[in-house]
Amino acid sequence: MHTVSDKSAEVAFKPLLRFEMDMATFLSDWQHCDQLSTFMARMISHNRADPIRHSNFFSFALNELLEVSFRGGSPQGLIDCTVYRRDATERVRLSFTCPAEQQEFYREAVSRTHQKDAIARYLNAISMDQTPNREVILLDLAINFDARVHLEKRTPASITLVVDLPLEGSIC
Amino acid sequence: MLSTTPFHAEFDSNSQEFFLAGVIRPHSVDEIAASIFMLREAIDDVRGVLYINLKRLVQMNNTAFQAFARVVLDSCRTRTDLRFVVVTSSVVGWTERMFKHLSSIDPRVTVEVYDSGFYPGQSFVEDTGFIPILRTQTKMTWRHERTILSRHGMRPGIVMADICCGIGDFAMLVKKEFQPTRIVALDHSMVSLAYAREMATSFDIADIEYTYGDACEMLLEDNQFDLVTCRHSLQIFNRPDVLLKELFRICKPGGRVYITNEKNSHCLGEPHSQSIQWTYNEVAKLFSHFEMDVELGPKSRRYLADAGFDDILIESFMVTNLDGDPQDFADVIAAWENVYAGEMAVKRGDSSEFIERFRQGFRDHIFAALHPKGYAGWPIWAASGRKPS
């Protein structure tokens, strides 16, 4: 498992935009995933070399992460999403409340994005499964968006995913 | 909060093509059951190959991707006679990355990326050697356009898009002269856009949003811009009506679309007017051979009306050798000679005798431009229409 413990690297990422919302409110409407990802992508992409396409790519990735929290989250507490930037990379830090028993699932799912058989697992899933599970979504981001996925240290009843997306270099 | 591009699925049995367009982000597969059913019916209907056209797909979540992918892969198992061609756009690069995995699972699924073949004459106008001439052309036309643009909706504070922006010099000139609040500048040439960004950086202009895209299949949302400009481009698209439809779509109701186009056969010069006129008549025929209409200028009014615009304004201006340095005019004509006679006529298979006569008209035009008593002209039609409120 990878954890974000390098403080100097953390400092180098500058915060761009943050939203915080009651989980109950967030979970009240599926469209929140699309609306929030579209809005945040547009806001943070304005000064990228190709803002329209950067926004499109970023929106894809953020929407998938928000959908993960929608499908796995609990209606208590908050969802907290911050987007940071360092050079060509955007970092999404997404915290949401979820049942304690799911923490191990996320830990394993994140760990699998770093394993050598990630692509084989991904291909097997898209050829066999009717609908994607949350593990496949993290694999998709790692494989198709070159994302580095991490999990922050355990906190009670919540998960914090940290996803680094080096989109700028792959778009222009 | 934000307008969402509606999701659209369609099957055309004539072309054996299944289209997906817009934003497809369902919570469950049930929400897209009708489209999944349509794809299954399309598979039952076709023979040999099914094209899955994703060129206008803006977003698709993994739920939708996996549902459509599953139908395709299941069909590969049951229909051994069938193959699938997924057509993606290079503009939305993640579609290519995701759908290419299906080829790894079953080689009868292939992915074609729609990019360099946006339109038939593209290779002629994207040569990097042409960039200095494009700059000179814009310098020459800008002397006229800066005085007429305000009649066509240009004013400070607007939100505008320059579609087919090329090397981005028009957008920069507009930014300095008219101070719009926002400019999006779109083109299909990565090389031109890289040059545009470099120039903008060197001129310390940071807020023009240069974006790569196909003008006929843009990612831009509906009804966004007060003014949409598209200069010298309808005439080099093989389907100007399709391009104009897109310009109409992204324009705000009450906003305007401004287009400029030429009528090349009306280029003129003295002395040697007959030689010049012969050559430019042949230019029009040559472009027509490559599905481009460089006679489009005066047809702008009809195109705008057919696209649904009202309050249509049209005017023409003549770029001449007397506007500025005559050498600029001569340099542009020399560049045209190189491309039209040196590349396009050769590609058409014209004889050396034809090409020599063809070249002579350009040389006579240059002679007229540089002659102390000569006159050389290049006419351009500027037109705009208002999108009804």
CB contact under 8 A, B29 and A64: no
Q: What residues of chain B score a pLDDT lower than 70?
A: 1-5, 115-129
What per-residue confidence (pLDDT) applies to A157?
Answer: 84
Q: Among A47, A49, A126, whose Cβ lies nearest the Cβ of B197? A: A49
CB of A105 less than 8 A from some CB of B: no
Q: What is the pTM of this model?
A: 0.87
* Distant-in-sequence, close-in-space partners of A131: CB < 8 Å, separation ≥ 6: B28, B29, B63, B66, B67
Q: Among B2, B27, B66, whose Cβ lies nearest the Cβ of A132? A: B66
CB of B312 less than 8 A from some CB of A: no
Q: Among A51, A57, A122, whose Cβ lies nearest the Cβ of B209? A: A51
What per-residue confidence (pLDDT) applies to B162?
Answer: 98
CB of A120 less than 8 A from some CB of B: no
Degrees, nearest 5: CA angle B380-B383-B384? 155
Q: How does residue A171 score in pLDDT terms, banded at 50, 70 and 90? A: confident
Q: Are A141 and A149 in contact (CB under 8 A)?
A: yes
CB contact under 8 A, B219 and A67: no
* Cα distance between residue B268 and residue A116, in whole Å: 68
Q: Among A56, A132, A144, whose Cβ lies nearest the Cβ of B92? A: A56
What per-residue confidence (pLDDT) applies to A172?
Answer: 67
What is the edge-to-edge ordering of all strands in the sheet holding A89-97?
A: A14-22, A78-86, A89-97, A158-165, A148-151
Q: How does residue A23 score in pLDDT terms, banded at 50, 70 and 90? A: very high
DSSP secondary structure of A24-66:
HHHTT-THHHHHHHHHHHHHHHTTSSSHHHHHHHHHHHHHHHH
What per-residue confidence (pLDDT) applies to A1?
Answer: 39
What per-residue confidence (pLDDT) applies to A129?
Answer: 77
What per-residue confidence (pLDDT) applies to B67?
Answer: 94
Task: Give contacts of A56 with chain B, Cβ < 8 Å.
Answer: 58-59, 92, 219
pLDDT in tens, B197-224: 999 999 888 889 999 999 988 989 999 9
ipTM (interface predicted TM): 0.92
CB of A52 less than 8 A from some CB of B: yes
Classified as helix, coil or strand, B289 is: helix
Instruction: Evaluate if residue A9 carries a pLDDT over 70.
Output: no
pLDDT in tens, A92-138: 999 999 888 888 889 999 999 999 999 999 999 998 877 778 889 99
Determine the distance in angstroms separating the CA of B368 from the nearest CA of chain A, rounded to an integer.
Answer: 43
Task: Give contacts of B61 with chain A, Cβ < 8 Å.
Answer: 63-64, 67
Instruction: Evaluate if residue A28 carries a pLDDT over 60.
Output: yes
Task: Give contacts of B211 with chain A, Cβ < 8 Å.
Answer: 50-53
Instruction: Evaluate if residue A10 carries a pLDDT over 80.
Output: no
Q: What is the mean pLDDT of residues A58-73?
A: 96
* Distant-in-sequence, close-in-space partners of B33: CB < 8 Å, separation ≥ 6: none
What per-residue confidence (pLDDT) applies to B119?
Answer: 59
Mutate one of B198, B211, B214 to test the A interface: name it (highest A CB count within 10 A).
B211
pLDDT in tens, B263-315: 999 999 999 999 999 999 999 999 999 999 999 999 999 999 999 999 999 99
* Cα distance between residue A172 and residue B266, in whole Å: 40
Burial class, B298, CB count within 10 angstroms (exposed 0-12 / middle 13-18 / buried 19+): middle
